[in-house]
Structure 1
Amino acid sequence: MEGNILEPAKYKRIVLKLSGESLAGDQGFGINPTVVEDIAKQIKKIREHGVDVAIVVGGGNIWRGLAGSAKGMDRATADYMGMMATVMNALALQDALEKLDVDTRVQTAIEMRQVAEPYIRRKAIRHMEKGRVVIFGAGTGNPYFSTDTTAALRAAEIEADVILMAKKGTDGIYDSDPNKNANAKKFDSLTYIEILNKGLHVMDTTATSLCMDNKIPLLVFNIDDHENIFRAALGEEIGTTVGGEE
């Protein structure tokens, strides 16, 4: 991909949605520093093209609120624990980026000033205008909302051109689980209303509706090859594109 270094990027401002599992690598849990460093290198390449980068990271590699709730834990408490997990991932990613000389700021929806800034929309935009990568931690700050919804909300707030949704184990959106059904059909493009009508589990319905209402395009692609992050940001036709129009 080094030969593409001078190619113009398709987008001016992106929100990259990373699952917590993507930071765990093959070990499946926790944070794998080698994997995080490799992802950070791709983000650096995107920044070198002048693209504003905001990142929303999940926490499923450390804790899943829904899993805790299913085992009897209070749902709100379980979700707040999940928000803490996303902050741990955000700090790990920040550390990896800054070791590559990429200026980075973590903003959290729950205040924890000793380790991160509180989320302030105008400040986040200003950071990106100055060339800094902004990582949004702690979800929306509210239980019962997923980090997919966070990505949709933050993308609308900062007026991002697209949400790049990196998925492990799948290279786009299918009509059924390709890991269970060998005849699963992959979609090259969809609309949000089709996702809702077909009951496709791309993101939760709150996030899907938020993207649809605000006409935010979505690109779902495979992160098993970390270079796909760079390819997606440059606008290569990989994965599945979801239109921003109703």
Structure 2
Amino acid sequence: MKEFLQKTSRLLAAGLLTAGSVTAVHAQRPARVATRVDSLRAARNAPITYSPVVFTMVSGKQVRGYVTSYDLFMHDKVECYEQPPNQLPPPPMKEMAVERIKTMVVEGHTLDALTKNGKPLGMLAENMTPAAGAKIYGYSITKANMYIPIPLLVGAAFIPVGSHDKYFWYVQPAGGIIQEVPRSDKAFATLMATAFADYPELAARVRQQAPNAGYKNMPQLVWDYNAHFTGGK
């Protein structure tokens, strides 16, 4: 009997040690790491941000919609939704050709369709000087800085390396038509001195190609011109 009790005590002690060991293993187990499935599930459930937009069409009709992204100059087309895109199931995305649009109003910005010599340029751009008077619209094109040749079996292909934004301006003098602003100093001075003719001091600065009165200073020049007639308001 004594031997039996001793054997039972040894078994119980071993059982307690085993339970303690299991408890220690559970306590030291690292936290669960997120898997790719978790990431996909989180991305699928992420909220969609969007902005209401109002289009005034060339026909005069107003159309309301929603955009998930936009720039202050838009080329060729605008991607939008007829209903909020966070609905389930999500509504289909539609493409609207810029040629059909006269203005686009989104988050306090008004983008106008630009024309040249009466023909649409396929571009919406924000008036950068919204005060009454002359208007200026700007847009940029990303250009490659340099190209490197890649040898082919016949000849070579040239791959762009690096890039920069090249800016372009359109100006609409008060009561006038939209014109593309030339980049060359002489042509720029001729056009803008004429546009600013009713502000002789500013016109003279531009004509003389004074510092800070060139192509890259267009927004400030137009702002100065408008402020001259509005008392800086």
Q: Same fold (TM over 0.5)?
A: no
Bigger RCO of structures 1 and 2 (CA < 8 A, at least 6 apart): 1
TM-score, with length taken from structure 1? 0.22
If each structure's strand is expressed as a fraction of its own residues, which one has the higher value? 2
**TM-score computed with the length of structure 2 as normaliser:** 0.23
Greater share of helix residues, 1 or 2? 1
